[in-house]
C-alpha cells in the first residue's frame, strides 16, 4: 500500500544531522528561491510515496523534476532539499524561528505576515513566509498532532503546550475572519535569576533584598502586570528564594515554572478536547492542593473562580503563597481580585471580600513592559488595612519615569519611600533581619 509523504516521514522517524540553512546567501535571487520553494511544495505535498521507495529518493526525484532547466549549484540544490524536508517533516517556515533562542514569541497573521518578539520588541520577519493559508493550517496540524489535538472547521481553535513547553494558540476560519493565525510563546529552559534582573535594570539591589526577605519570611504575594510584562519570569525567580526543605505545589495552565528545590509538585490543568471530555481547572487543582499538605502554593495566574480558593489558602495557614494576576496597576489588581471572588459563586458581601483580601495578601508587586521593551518593577506596595470600607495601600518602592532619552529608552529613577513598612515587623518576627540597614534611618 502506498503512503502519503507526511505519513511516511512519521513512520520512518528520520532525523537529519545536516544544518538547515535558512538565509538567502546561497540564493542571491530571492524571487527564484521563493518560486522554487512554492512550486515544489505545491506539487509534492499531497503526493504518495511509492511502495519500496525511500523518502529521500522520492524528494530528490521530485526536486529534480521541478528544478529542471535551472542552472543551480550542488550547494543550492542541497539547500532546497533541506528546506523542503523542513516543510514536510518539520515545522516548515517556523523551524528556524522555533530554534532561535533570542526569539520569545512568534506571531503568524498571514502567509507573508510573520512577526517575532526579540528583547521585548515586536518586529516583522521579512525572511519567513508561507505559501498560502492552507500551508499555515498544515503547519498547525503538524505542530499539534503529537499532542493528540486537532484543528478543523468544527474545532477551529486550539490552545496547548508543545513538547518543548512552548505555548501554542491557533485560530482558523470561521473564527478568524482574515485567515489562520498562530501565536507561539516560546519556552525558556532557564527563566533567569535575580542577578540577571539586576543587570538589565528590572529592579534595584535594595528591591531585590526586600523581595528576598518577603519570600523568606513567608509573606503572601501578588505579582501583577499586563500581557508579556514578565510576571511568570519574576514569579519563578522569586520562588527560587523558597527554602529547600519546604513542600511546594505549583499550579498552572501550562507548566512553565522551573523551580530547583527538592520538594516540588507541579500540577497542570486539562482542557476539553475531542478525546478527553473532563476539564480540570485551576480552581479544581487549588482545592486539591489544599489536601496535599503544601507549605507553599504557587498559582501561575489567577483569572477566574480560583481566586477565592487561593485567598482561602492564604488565610488558612499557607503563608508564603504566590500568584500572578493580569492588571495594569496595583489598585486595578485589587479591584480585579474583588470581581473574581464575586464571580466564584460564593454569596459574600463586598465588605467581607475586601476584608478577606486584606487579611490574605501582604505584598503586591507591579511589573511592566515599558515603551522601550524593557521590563521594570514599577511598584512594590503593601496592604495596610481597610479605611471607610476601602482597602488601603502604601507604596514601598516605586519607579518614577521622567521621559525618554534621545535613543528612545525610558528615563527614570527608583524611589524608596521614607517609611517603615508594616510588613517589616512581620519579617523581624520571623527572624529575617536583613533589612535593618535599609530602614534604620527611618526609625
Kindly report the CATH number assigned to the domain that includes residue 153. 3.30.450.90
Residue with cell 492588571: 327
311 and 276, same structural domain? yes
Q: Which of 164, 187, 210 is the last residue of a domain?
A: 187
What is the rounded CA–CA span in Å between residue 11 and residue 5? Answer: 10
Residue 297 contacts residue 286 (beta carbons within 8 Å): yes
Query: DSSP code of 50?
Result: P
Phi and psi based region of residue 272 (left: phi greater than 0; alpha: psi -120 to 50; beta: remaining) = beta
Q: What is the mean pLDDT of residues 325-349?
A: 91
314 and 259, same structural domain? yes
119 and 244, same structural domain? no
Q: What pLDDT does 278 receive?
A: 78
pLDDT at 328 over 50: yes
Q: What pLDDT does 272 receive?
A: 63
407 and 263, same structural domain? yes
Q: Which has more confidence, 436 or 7?
A: 436
What is the rounded CA–CA span in Å between residue 406 and residue 307? Answer: 43
pLDDT tens per residue, range 260-299: 999 999 998 876 654 455 788 888 999 999 999 999 999 9
Q: What pLDDT does 231 receive?
A: 94
pLDDT at 10 over 80: no
Q: Which of 90, 107, 137 is the last residue of a domain?
A: 90
Q: What pLDDT does 75 receive?
A: 81
pTM of the model: 0.74
Cell of 97: 524561528
Q: What pLDDT does 33 receive?
A: 80
248 and 138, same structural domain? no
Q: Which has more confidence, 114 or 34?
A: 114
Q: What is the mean pLDDT of residues 76-95?
A: 77
Q: Which of 36, 61, 90 is the last residue of a domain?
A: 90
Q: Which of 20-29, 216-225, 228-237 has the lowest mean pLDDT?
A: 20-29
**Domain total of the chain:** 3
- CA distances from residue 3 to 35, 47, 66, 146, 354 in whole angstroms, order as listed: 27, 9, 21, 19, 63
102 and 73, same structural domain? no
45 and 166, same structural domain? no
Q: Collect all residues with Cβ–Cβ distance below 8 Å to 442 and sequence separation of at least 6.
A: 418, 419, 420
339 and 392, same structural domain? yes
What is the rounded CA–CA span in Å between residue 401 and residue 236? Answer: 26
Q: Which has more confidence, 434 or 120?
A: 434
| Percentage, residues of the chain above pLDDT 70 | 89
421 and 387, same structural domain? yes
390 and 356, same structural domain? yes
| Selection from 272, 265, 188, 267 nearest residue 234 by Cα | 188
Q: What is the mean pLDDT of residues 70-99?
A: 79
Q: What pLDDT does 13 receive?
A: 39
Q: Which of 46-50, 134-138, 321-325, 395-399 has the lowest mean pLDDT?
A: 46-50
Average pLDDT for the chain = 85
Q: What pLDDT does 291 receive?
A: 92
Question: What stretches of 388-424 adopt beta strand conformation (E)?
Answer: 390-404, 410-416
Q: What is the mean pLDDT of residues 318-329?
A: 94
Q: What pLDDT does 17 receive?
A: 38
Peptide bond into 174 cis (omega under 30): yes
219 and 72, same structural domain? no
What is the rounded CA–CA span in Å between residue 138 and residue 152? Answer: 10
Q: Which domain holds residue 142?
A: 93-187
CA dihedral sign of residues 118, 122, 127, 130: positive
pLDDT tens per residue, range 427-443: 999 999 999 889 877 76
pLDDT at 110 over 90: yes
pLDDT at 251 over 70: yes
144 and 26, same structural domain? no
Residue with cell 527563566: 191
pLDDT tens per residue, range 173-200: 999 999 999 999 887 766 689 999 999 9
What is the rounded CA–CA span in Å between residue 148 and residue 276? Answer: 10
Amino acid at each position: 500500500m502506498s503512503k502519503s509523504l507526511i505519513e511516511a516521514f512519521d513512520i520512518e522517524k528520520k532525523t537529519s544531522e545536516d544544518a538547515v540553512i535558512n538565509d538567502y546567501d546561497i540564493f542571491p535571487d530571492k524571487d527564484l528561491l521563493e518560486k522554487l520553494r512554492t512550486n515544489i511544495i505545491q506539487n509534492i505535498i499531497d503526493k504518495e510515496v511509492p511502495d519500496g521507495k525511500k523518502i529521500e529518493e522520492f524528494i530528490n526525484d521530485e526536486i529534480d523534476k521541478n528544478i529542471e532547466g535551472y542552472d543551480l549549484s550542488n550547494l543550492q540544490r542541497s539547500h532546497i532539499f533541506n528546506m523542503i524536508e523542513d516543510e514536510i517533516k518539520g515545522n516548515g517556515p517556523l523551524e528556524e524561528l522555533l530554534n532561535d533562542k533570542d526569539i520569545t514569541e512568534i506571531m503568524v497573521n498571514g502567509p507573508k505576515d510573520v512577526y517575532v518578539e526579540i528583547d521585548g520588541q515586536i518586529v516583522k520577519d521579512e525572511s519567513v513566509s508561507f505559501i498560502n493559508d492552507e500551508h499555515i493550517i498544515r503547519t498547525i496540524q503538524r505542530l499539534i498532532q503529537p499532542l493528540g489535538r486537532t484543528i478543523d472547521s468544527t474545532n477551529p481553535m486550539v490552545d496547548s503546550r508543545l513538547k518543548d513547553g512552548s505555548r501554542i494558540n491557533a485560530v482558523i476560519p470561521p473564527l478568524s475572519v482574515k485567515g489562520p493565525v498562530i501565536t507561539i510563546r516560546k519556552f525558556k529552559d532557564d527563566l533567569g535569576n535575580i542577578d540577571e534582573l539586576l543587570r538589565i535594570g528590572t529592579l534595584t539591589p535594595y528591591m531585590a533584598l526586600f523581595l528576598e526577605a518577603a519570600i523568606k519570611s513567608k509573606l503572601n504575594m501578588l505579582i501583577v502586570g499586563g500581557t508579556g510584562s514578565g510576571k511568570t519570569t519574576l514569579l519563578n525567580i522569586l520562588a527560587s528564594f523558597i527554602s529547600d526543605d519546604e513542600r511546594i505545589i505549583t499550579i498552572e495552565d501550562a507548566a512553565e515554572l522551573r523551580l530547583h528545590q527538592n520538594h516540588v509538585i507541579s500540577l497542570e490543568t486539562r482542557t476539553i478536547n475531542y478525546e478527553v471530555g473532563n476539564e480540570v481547572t485551576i480552581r479544581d487543582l487549588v482545592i486539591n492542593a489544599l489536601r496535599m499538605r503544601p507549605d507553599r502554593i504557587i498559582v501561575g495566574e489567577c483569572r477566574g473562580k480560583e481566586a477565592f480558593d487561593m485567598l482561602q489558602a492564604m488565610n488558612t495557614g499557607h503563608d508564603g503563597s504566590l500568584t500572578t494576576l493580569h492588571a495594569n496597576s496595583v489598585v486595578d489588581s485589587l479591584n480585579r481580585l474583588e470581581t473574581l471572588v464575586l464571580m466564584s459563586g460564593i454569596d459574600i458581601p463586598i465588605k467581607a471580600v475586601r476584608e478577606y483580601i486584606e487579611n490574605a495578601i501582604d505584598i503586591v508587586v507591579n511589573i511592566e513592559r515599558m515603551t522601550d521593551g524593557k521590563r521594570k518593577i514599577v511598584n512594590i506596595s503593601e496592604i495596610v488595612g481597610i479605611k471607610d470600607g476601602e482597602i488601603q495601600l502604601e507604596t514601598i518602592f516605586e519607579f518614577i519615569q521622567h521621559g525618554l532619552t534621545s535613543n528612545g529608552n525610558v528615563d527614570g529613577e527608583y524611589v524608596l519611600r521614607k517609611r517603615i513598612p508594616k510588613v517589616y515587623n512581620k519579617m523581624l518576627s520571623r527572624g529575617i533581619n536583613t533589612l535593618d540597614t535599609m530602614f534604620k534611618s527611618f526609625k
